[in-house]
Chains A and B, each alone.
Chain A
Amino acid sequence: MDSTLDFARKLRRLIIEHSRLANVGHIASGLSIVDLVAVIFGQVLPQFPEDEASFVLSKGHAALAIYAALAELGKIDHKDLAKYCQDDTLYGTHPDYRIPGIELSTGSLGMGLGAGAGIACAAHIRRKAKRVYVLLSDGECDEGSVWETAMFAGHHHLSNLVAVIDYNHQQAMGSTEQVLNIDPICERWMSFGWQAFSADGHNHAELQRAFARANEPSDRPCVIVANTIAGYGVSFMERQVKWHYLPMSDLDYTRALAEIDGSR
């Protein structure tokens, strides 16, 4: 296994290449979680036997980052990545459970955490060891259902449930501060009975420490608020709402790849 940093660089490159190939957007959302995905898929999940850990991408619109990780890990073929957003393919901008390595079809925000809580409950009922990781977006925390599940998981001490929030402060129509403020985010989750702490979502050492802390024995579920930057790794895409939507031009594409390759 490469270092998670090398892994992340490969994922960034794949996201840019395949967004370009498909001529679609949602690029910044994918880049925002690349480091989280690299640490989760490269370091966190491999600590467990395959049936003892689950991952749910509740912010389904960043599926390309997961497809890229699955391809790098050999769960799907690299050739399948070329099907991203083509006709007659499972590989849309949001993931489908029929793809190897995708546990649940997501895309409608506010559903993944509850399903993850159900997976965590099933482990308790069946007295099996299983840790469940659910990656949410910050804008997703606008959904009331997220808080239904937050209250439920806190009440039932679902200590095998770990939520990760991609806090890039950018949602579809503007910043979270402008659209619907979610702060004080850690305090809100703590008040629902969760452990909550924040980490630099692009600093791998810090993320690895955060996941280690989240995996320590506890009687509470845990949320890691990952402070991220939408479009991270491609300077002209960072913190720009338009890169939530727009595809790249040839020039954008060349510049983006040059930046990623130059970051070695």
Chain B
Amino acid sequence: MRRAFLSALTSLAESDARIVFLTADLGFTVVENFQAKFPDRFINTGVSEQNLLAVSTGLAKEGLIPFVYSIIPFVTLRPFEFIRNGPVLHQLPVRIIGSGSGFEYGHDGLTHYGLEDIGVLRTQPGMRIVVPADHEQAQNALNATYQLPGPIYYRLGKNETATIAGLNGRFGNGTPVSLVEGADILLLACGAITGEAVKASGLLGLQGLRPAVALVDTLQPLDRQSIAALVSKYRMVATVEAHYISGGLGSAIAEIIAEEKLDSRLMRIGVDRLWDGVTGSESFLLSRYGLSAEKIAERILKVVS
């Protein structure tokens, strides 16, 4: 979805001269078109993510809308204090693009996995967190949000072609988007892994269950009322996310269930911890850590039965 996002951004930049793109030397085959069209509004800061965020703070303070790009841990964790004291403290429209959710950089190893970005950034008041599920939704999410005040984090997946069945690009802007109607259990997902949740619902259907599937595309601010209204319809909710189970979607839903006094039981499906240094393809790792459609279905069946 990175190319689609950049394509939509390049279109926006035609008419909005405030848009500037910065990368900390990543984005090969993703950013070149923007660079060619707007060489004066494209900055490669080199491999220096602290400076990337500091410079973007200065650009935004001067009225520009900087989009800064790198792989998730490098653009969220390395410069975290720069995000806190820059765009967040000053409520400036810096747009942080994190590439590669969960295990999408599978073969690159543990340093490259995006597993705690949502949790870390959710601690920052005023930081909008947008987690598109496919390339169509990513474009609509960008168009709907890029002019909003304050900082935004876009968590982008690497798959450029897969689409989520039933989504058709709809961007809920925080309101849960229904993908599969059902009754017994709700699978609530965010990001590209929503595709696995939809497949898991099909597998569970073969076992006689009627799971519903919905996605949440904006993790902050949370549309608490809509989410609570949806969750309260089901006796059990399983959150599905390519993220540690702490701090992300599962934690957010737990907060809503507890604070809104809902009766629904919650099962958080995510990564509990990295057990060892084993790497592999994304699909291998999703399966290994229980996040493939088959494993999600198995885990849910075990709990339900």
Return B34 CB to nearest CB of chain A, in Å.
14
A74 contacts chain B at the CB level, 8 A cutoff: no
CB-based contact B64/A122 at 8 Å: yes
Among A114, A145, A155, A156, contact of B58 (Cβ-Cβ < 8 Å): A114
Among A97, A155, A156, contact of B90 (Cβ-Cβ < 8 Å): A97
B267 contacts chain A at the CB level, 8 A cutoff: no
Q: How many Å lie between the Cα of A91 and that of B293 in the bound state?
A: 55
CB-based contact A115/B62 at 8 Å: no
A68 contacts chain B at the CB level, 8 A cutoff: no
A3 contacts chain B at the CB level, 8 A cutoff: no
Residues of chain B contacted by A37 (CB below 8 angstroms): none
B20 contacts chain A at the CB level, 8 A cutoff: yes
Chain B CB count within 10 A is highest, among A105, A117, A124, for A117
Q: How many residues in B have their beta carbons less than 8 Å from beta carbons of A?
A: 28
CB-based contact A125/B41 at 8 Å: yes
CB-based contact A149/B61 at 8 Å: no
CB-based contact A115/B57 at 8 Å: yes
CB-based nearest B residue for A110: B50
CB-based contact B46/A144 at 8 Å: no
Return A228 CB to nearest CB of chain B, in Å.
25
CB-based contact A148/B50 at 8 Å: yes
CB-based nearest A residue for B58: A118
CB-based contact B85/A118 at 8 Å: no
Q: How many Å lie between the Cα of A119 and that of B90 in the bound state?
A: 14
Q: How many Å lie between the Cα of A115 and that of B50 in the bound state?
A: 10
A121 contacts chain B at the CB level, 8 A cutoff: yes
Q: Which of A75-125 contact B (CB under 8 A)?
A: 97, 103-108, 110-111, 113-125
CB-based nearest B residue for A114: B54
A151 contacts chain B at the CB level, 8 A cutoff: yes
CB-based contact B90/A148 at 8 Å: no
Q: How many Å lie between the Cα of A115 and that of B83 in the bound state?
A: 12
CB-based nearest B residue for A145: B50
Q: How many Å lie between the Cα of A114 and that of B57 in the bound state?
A: 8
Among B55, B81, B90, contact of A108 (Cβ-Cβ < 8 Å): B81
B43 contacts chain A at the CB level, 8 A cutoff: yes
B48 contacts chain A at the CB level, 8 A cutoff: yes
Q: How many Å lie between the Cα of A106 and that of B62 in the bound state?
A: 17
Q: Which of A200-254 contact B (CB under 8 A)?
A: none
B143 contacts chain A at the CB level, 8 A cutoff: no
Q: Which of B36-55 contact A (CB under 8 A)?
A: 40-41, 43, 45-46, 48, 50-51, 53-55
Return A112 CB to nearest CB of chain B, in Å.
8
Residues of chain B contacted by A111 (CB below 8 angstroms): 54, 57, 81-82, 85-86
Residues of chain B contacted by A113 (CB below 8 angstroms): 54
CB-based contact A151/B46 at 8 Å: yes
B-to-A contact residues, CB < 8 Å: 20, 40-41, 43, 45-46, 48, 50-51, 53-64, 66, 81-82, 85-86, 89-90
Can you offer 12 A-B residue contacts whose CB atoms are under 8 A? A108-B85, A111-B54, A111-B81, A114-B58, A115-B57, A119-B58, A119-B62, A120-B58, A121-B59, A125-B40, A148-B46, A152-B51
A-to-B contact residues, CB < 8 Å: 97, 103-108, 110-111, 113-126, 144-145, 148-149, 151-152, 155-156
